[in-house]
Amino acid sequence: GAQHIGEALKINTVLTILDLGRNDIGVTGAQHIGEALKSNTVLTDLNLQGNKIGPEGAQHMGEALKINTVLTTLNLERNRAGDIGARSLARAFKDNKALTSLNLRGNEIGAEGSQHIGEALKINKALATLNLWHNTIGDKGAQHIGEALKINTVLT
């Protein structure tokens, strides 16, 4: 399944948008796609919505984002990334200069994950759109995001 797509993405030089939403690729699929993103130089838009990748799959995406310099839009909506996944993604987009849109809607991200995202937002100068709708960030998480937005002048 996703292993074959990952292998193809490593050598494909024309595909710019890939929608794999709701295909149950899971952690293993996220690992293969993440590995491909490390070397792919053309894919700009990736939708992995509703693929049950969990925290470990989000970590694979985070590792890919540390290296990838072309992906501008990543949709990870409803993947149960949680605070651990949010931490991995936040570490990646601290330095990522390409990603402009990240959808983390419905990922069970709480105050801890929001803290990591907030810290990354203070540094990141590329991300313009961040969707955190339907998470459990609560008052403390909102405080972390709010503090970051005082500093971040790019996020809209």
pLDDT tens-digit series, residues 49-79:
999 999 999 999 999 999 999 999 999 999 9
Q: What SS3 class is residue 50?
A: coil
Beta-strand relationship, 73-75 and 101-103: parallel
Predicted TM-score (pTM) of the model is 0.97
Helix (H) or strand (E) holding 103: strand 101-103
pLDDT tens-digit series, residues 85-134:
999 999 999 999 999 999 999 999 999 999 999 999 999 999 999 999 99
Amino acid code (one letter) for 44: T
**Tokens of residue 36, six digits:** 């491909």
DSSP conformation class of 44: -
- Cα 150 to chain centroid, rounded: 22
